[in-house]
Amino acid sequence: MSGGGPGCSPLDGSAVPSATLFERAVGRTIDASVAIVLELVVMVPLSLLLWLRGWGSDWGYGRPSFDGQDAIRTLLWLIPAVIALAWVFYETVSTWSGGQTLGKRAAGIATVRASDGSSPSFASSAARALLPVVTGAGAALAAWKLEMLQPLRAGAALWVAVYLSALTNRSRRGLHDMLAGTVVVQQPTNQGAAA
């Protein structure tokens, strides 16, 4: 059955069902929850340190040497940058080290090379993780430069569009999958292993 039907990906000469959009959304929701926890672990101490340290001054004995507006401006750019870096790191390492993030594992899906079903390389995993983030950040920066009122909404819209592009083809590959040469498939179950 090489080639399969709609929603199947040819891997190793047999058809492996591509993950459904629902399965991918479940996995992404779990991953987002994990990322938020990781980000809080980094951002809470960093925010406290910025407040205690003061931006560009000596330690100041616990008194910030800059006004509140400077702190807010700094955090408004620092927080999204740390979130993006944490997301890319988590997604890249998890995909590279076995094709599954915690969310994908819970949803019973995995990211594999589209050509042969093997685990993605580090470069493919990084490209796959970077495309949505770079696209979203680029849109947010463009909206900010054009003095639009909601730059983060513009960034989020393009970020989501990268993932929703999986609706446009039979193998359910998003733009990030196409760039990386990957496909997200349903994890095969070992039905005959117990017998």
Residues 81-107 pLDDT 10s: 878 888 899 999 999 999 999 999 999
With a threshold of 0.85, does the pTM exceed it? no
Residues 152, 166: contact at Cβ < 8 Å? Answer: no
pLDDT in tens, 130-176: 988 888 777 777 777 777 667 667 777 777 787 778 778 888 888 88
Q: In sequence order, what are the residues at sequence separation of 6 or more whose Cβ sits closer than 8 angstroms to the Cβ of residue 186?
A: 16, 17, 18, 19, 20, 23, 108, 109
> At residue 37, does pLDDT exceed 90?
no
pLDDT band, residue 63 (cuts 50/70/90): low
Helix, strand or coil for residue 49? helix
> At residue 6, does pLDDT exceed 70?
no
| pLDDT, the chain, mean | 77
What's the token pair of residue 156? 């989020």
Instruction: Using the Cα atoms of residue 77, residue 80, residue 85 and residue 86 in order, give the sign of their dihedral.
Output: positive
